[in-house]
């Protein structure tokens, strides 16, 4: 029974990793940009939510509602004024710019908020749990997983049901032809990064309510997100959820054997998948 | 006609470089211990930067996981000293070999990831290596360990230096480490320069400029990437071992630090000028000056460094040396092939 419990906890933890990964996957899928500052942006958003809860005395959920449009604007501006300038055939400039941003963000947060661990106080929700017969699960992990599914359904709806989604897909397939059809790829990219930052805010909300965070934890979140994306296969959001679940399950089982092995087990699961299925479990995109 | 890469500036630069190396060799006779220690750091960072430049600037392999090779090289040296009773200096080659051994599976995994994802792939391997090393209880596990006193008190070559300069033992150890760092930096730069001027270098430049075109003229691009990655890993491992001979204290978090061994190095190359041998040299000078100027400002230092790197990538993608070189046409290490007319004897 303890193993079933571990399995369920792992699956639910995978929801959090899928939330980390969805924004990364979105940006890569549309403009082939690997954002090395993605993890630090999640931590940045968590601090933004923290700041709002502290100054306005709001619950984290309400604070995230305020933070989301701000993050959208920041993401839009970042893409419009910085990243669009370096996108091109050469993969080096965008990688190095986002790496510079990652280090700058980390140290900016360190300067502003110190290295102390922080947490978003969610009230009674933090410890509430529900008995599902065989296992008991916390409301918070359950809510995280449900949110991950909602985010993926929402993003898929945008992609396949709206004009904006059509523009996203067209630009992703062929920016030159898309621009002949009256789409401005750079504007589409800016909107995509803005949207990714909204997803980042949602990921930050659950990161902050479920565990402690400090300015240094961004890179580890980037790595989990990246592993989930690669395991799932590029271009498939449901695959990304599966990837998150695989890492989550590997981590909880690793931790059940020896607490020191939690993180290691997740990485090893990733390497095994990379060994057996180099293009991931559900590959869609050709590149 | 014949093909040459030699230029007058290049020959003058070469001679000046020789003079500079001679001066650097003699430096311990009159420089203070603090200067020697600072130069040790600069030289090891320069070596790491040249290697990363070879990977990213010439090989197109943006690795964010070079700390794996620094850390493993350092730990292999520690293992040689603590478990096998080797002299720390003799244990340095173990660092290179261990890094080389790790680079083979790393390349196997990371080369499966296309384009930009290669960067994070190398980072994952570095994390895995760090976590595995932290499980190695004999070498201190997660908290780390120090080189035993009996190993550091009697290092090969320290005694003659002590007598020669009339120094105390700890200072003599710093001089030895400094000379080794100097040798490693000079040999690395010379080797990369020689590499760029021979056939492999030409192939590298072709792959960098246009992979498809390079393939079409028969260049085995995969083999070249493997070669560059393995060479860089080996020398990075040697450098890591040398750094930790001088530090004499190790922990997984420090030895596998992405900030110290990869972020600094990337910033040095980007600010100085990527894809040029001169770039990392100029970059390490700028880096050191900034470090001295901002030493008292804590996190502001890295914040500034990160933003400078972003600004450089946006407005001068080939770095400060690129700006300088474009204005003046200066190439200290010419690698460009030119045709040169030869006057044959009695040719009239």
What is the extent of the structural domain holding A261? Answer: 2-117+128-276
Place of tokens 């008991």: A136
Q: Could you say which of B114, B134, B302 has the minimum Cβ distance to residue A107?
A: B302
CATH number of the domain residue A214 falls in: 1.10.3470
Of A95, A268, A275, the CB nearest to B116: A95
CB contact under 8 A, B305 and A268: no
Band of the pLDDT at A137, cuts 50, 70, 90? Answer: confident
Domain membership flag for residue A238: yes
Position A63 in a domain: yes
**Chain B nearest C-alpha distance from A21 (Å):** 13
- Mean pLDDT confidence for A242-253: 95
Contact between A100 and B132 using a beta-carbon 8 Å cutoff: no
- CB contact under 8 Å between A230 and B132, yes or no, is no
Using a CB-CB cut-off of 8 Å, the residues of chain A touching B300 are: 107, 111
The number of distinct structural domains making up chain A is 1
Instruction: Confirm whether A281 is domain-assigned.
Output: no
Cβ pair B306:A103 closer than 8 A:
yes
Top pLDDT among B325 and B3 is at B325
Percent of chain B with pLDDT over 90: 43
ipTM of this predicted complex? 0.87
Give the mean model confidence (pLDDT) for residues B296-311: 88
Could B313 and A260 be called an inter-chain contact, meaning their C-beta atoms sit closer than 8 Å?
no
Q: What sign for the dihedral angle of Cα A125, A126, A131, A132? A: positive
- Average predicted confidence (pLDDT) for chain A: 90
Q: Are strands A136-138 and B249-250 parallel, antiparallel or unpaired?
A: unpaired
Cα(B229)–Cα(B58) distance, integer angstroms: 11
CA distance B312 to B271: 6
Q: pLDDT tens digits for B215-241?
A: 888 888 888 889 999 999 999 999 999
Closest partner residue to B313 (CB to CB) among A93, A230, A278 is A93
Nearest Cβ partner of B303 from A104, A264, A287?
Answer: A104
- Domains belonging to chain B, first-starting first, are 17-262 (1.10.3470)
Query: With an 8 Å Cβ cutoff, are A36 and B62 in contact?
Result: no
pLDDT tens-place string over residues B306-329? 999 999 989 988 889 988 888 887
pLDDT tens digit sequence for B200-209: 888 888 887 7
Above 50 in pLDDT, residue B347?
no
Residue A34 placed within a domain: yes
Residues of B with CB under 8 A from a CB of A: 56, 60, 62, 64, 109, 112-117, 119-121, 123-124, 127-128, 131-132, 134-135, 142, 258-259, 263, 266-267, 270, 274, 298-303, 305-310, 313-314, 317
Report the pLDDT averaged over residues A122-137: 83
Cβ atoms of B127 and A266 closer than 8 Å: no
Residues of chain A in contact with residue B114, where contact means CB-CB under 8 angstroms, are 287
List, for residues A265-283, the tens digit of each pLDDT value.
Answer: 999 999 998 888 888 888 7
Q: Quick one: pLDDT band at residue B346, thresholds 50, 70, 90?
A: low
3-state secondary structure of A135: coil
For A43-66, b/e burial (b = at least 16 CB within 10 A) is bbbbbbbbebbeeeeeebeebbeb
Residue A283 lies inside a defined structural domain of this protein? no
Q: Considering only A72-86, A231-245, B281-295, B321-335, which range has the smallest mean pLDDT? A: B321-335
Let me know if residue A164 belongs to a domain.
yes
Strands (E) located in chain A? 129-131, 136-138
* Residue B200: per-residue pLDDT: 83
- Look at A219 and B298 and tell me if their CB atoms are within 8 Å: no
């Amino acid at each position: 029974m303890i193993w079933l419990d571990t399995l369920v906890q792992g699956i639910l933890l995978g929801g959090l990793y899928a939330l980390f990964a969805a924004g990364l996957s979105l940006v890569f899928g549309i403009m082939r940009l690997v954002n090395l500052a993605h993890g630090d942006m999640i931590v940045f958003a968590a601090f933004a939510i923290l700041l709002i809860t502290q100054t306005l005395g709001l619950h984290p959920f309400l604070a995230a509602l305020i933070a989301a449009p701000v993050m959208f604007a920041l993401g839009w501006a970042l893409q419009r004024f910085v990243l669009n300038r370096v996108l091109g055939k050469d993969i080096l400039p965008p990688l190095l710019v986002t790496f510079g941003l990652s280090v700058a963000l980390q140290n900016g947060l360190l300067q502003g908020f110190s290295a102390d661990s922080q947490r978003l106080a969610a009230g009674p929700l933090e410890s509430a749990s529900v008995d599902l017969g065989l296992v008991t699960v916390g409301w918070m992990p359950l809510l995280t997983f449900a949110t991950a599914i909602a985010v993926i359904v929402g993003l898929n709806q945008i992609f396949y049901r709206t004009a904006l989604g059509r523009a996203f897909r067209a630009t992703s397939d062929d920016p030159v032809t898309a621009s002949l059809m009256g789409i401005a790829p750079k504007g589409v990219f800016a909107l995509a990064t803005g949207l990714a930052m909204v997803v980042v805010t949602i990921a930050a909300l659950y990161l902050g309510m479920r565990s402690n965070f400090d300015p240094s934890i961004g890179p580890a979140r980037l790595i989990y997100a990246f592993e989930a994306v690669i395991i799932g296969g590029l271009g498939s959001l449901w695959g990304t959820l599966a990837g998150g679940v695989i890492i989550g399950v590997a981590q909880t089982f690793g931790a059940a054997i020896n607490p020191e092995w939690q993180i290691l087990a997740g990485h090893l699961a990733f390497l095994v998948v990379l060994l057996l299925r180099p293009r991931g479990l559900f590959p869609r995109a050709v590149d | 006609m014949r093909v040459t890469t030699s230029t007058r500036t290049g020959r003058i630069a070469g001679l000046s470089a020789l003079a500079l190396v001679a001066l650097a060799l003699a430096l311990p006779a009159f420089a203070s211990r603090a200067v020697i220690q600072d130069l040790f750091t600069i030289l090891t960072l320069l070596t790491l930067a040249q290697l990363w430049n070879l990977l990213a600037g010439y090989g197109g392999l943006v690795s964010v996981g070079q700390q794996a090779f620094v850390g493993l090289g350092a730990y292999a040296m520690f293992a040689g000293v603590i478990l096998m009773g080797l002299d720390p200096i003799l244990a340095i080659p173990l660092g290179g070999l261990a890094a080389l051994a790790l680079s083979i599976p790393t390349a196997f995994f990371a080369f499966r990831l296309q384009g930009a994802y290669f960067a994070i792939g190398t980072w994952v391997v570095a994390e895995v290596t760090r976590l595995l090393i932290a499980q190695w209880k004999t070498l201190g596990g997660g908290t780390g360990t120090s080189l035993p006193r009996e190993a550091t008190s009697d290092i090969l070559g320290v005694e003659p230096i002590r007598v020669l300069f009339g120094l105390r033992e700890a200072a003599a150890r710093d001089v030895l480490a400094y000379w080794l760092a100097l040798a490693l930096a000079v040999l690395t730069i010379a080797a990369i320069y020689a590499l760029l001027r021979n056939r492999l270098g030409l192939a590298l430049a072709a792959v960098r400029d246009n992979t498809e075109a390079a393939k079409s003229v028969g260049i085995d691009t995969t083999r070249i990437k493997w070669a560059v990655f393995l060479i860089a890993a080996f020398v990075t491992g040697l450098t890591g071992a040398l750094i930790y001979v001088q530090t004499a204290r190790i922990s997984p978090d420090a030895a596998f630090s992405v900030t110290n061994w990869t972020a600094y190095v990337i910033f040095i190359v980007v600010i100085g000028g990527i894809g040029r041998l001169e770039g990392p040299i100029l970059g390490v000078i700028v880096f050191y000056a900034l470090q001295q100027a901002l030493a008292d400002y804590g996190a502001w230092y890295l914040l500034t460094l990160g933003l400078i790197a972003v600004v450089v990538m946006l407005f001068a993608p080939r770095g400060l040396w690129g700006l300088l070189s474009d204005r003046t046409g200066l190439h200290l290490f010419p690698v460009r092939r030119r045709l040169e007319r030869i006057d044959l004897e009695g040719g009239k």
